[in-house]
Structure 1
């Protein structure tokens, strides 16, 4: 659990207070979830963590695409740093 909290902390402030939010959900799905004792808030929060993590990763890749391509070209052309020092 500690690993999960630490991982989430990098994405958002886990100590921030809870805040009410209005969401629209299929009425029958919500009814079934309640019948089965599904914690709607917990499920939504976990899904949002995953969605935010995925969106943040994609944004980072988009923002750093040119640098990544330049580095890959450098490695392809000149090899990795320390290649000449390796004995394996």
Structure 2
């Protein structure tokens, strides 16, 4: 589930509803609305994937944390500093 986004995938037209003031200001500043929306959506998707991964792996993470708490990190004896 933790796969990278495909930036070169085909584009698909869609309708979005945005604040009129925000759209006007973005256009005045030369911001490409499609690129900005896509970048924001990509960030939200990445965040949601990360949260989903954490929920899916919660038990394994807890198990590993218990192991480290009880036994220390593997190869700790070889660490320098």
Please identify which structure carries the higher helix content: 1
Normalization by structure 1: what TM-score? 0.77
Q: 1:27 to 1:71 in 2, by over 3 A?
A: same
Question: Runs of 5+ in structure 1 lacking a partner?
Answer: 1-9
Aligned alpha-carbon RMSD (Å): 1.6
Alignment: residue pair count: 78
1:68 match: 61
Normalization by structure 2: what TM-score? 0.83
2:45 match: 52
Whole-angstrom CA distance in 1 between matches of 2:63 and 2:47: 24
Question: Runs of 5+ in structure 2 lacking a partner?
Answer: none
**Secondary structure of 2:5's aligned partner:** coil
Q: 1:76 to 1:29 in 2, by over 3 A?
A: same
Q: 1:59 to 1:34 in 2, by over 3 A?
A: same
Whole-angstrom CA distance in 2 between matches of 1:18 and 1:68: 37
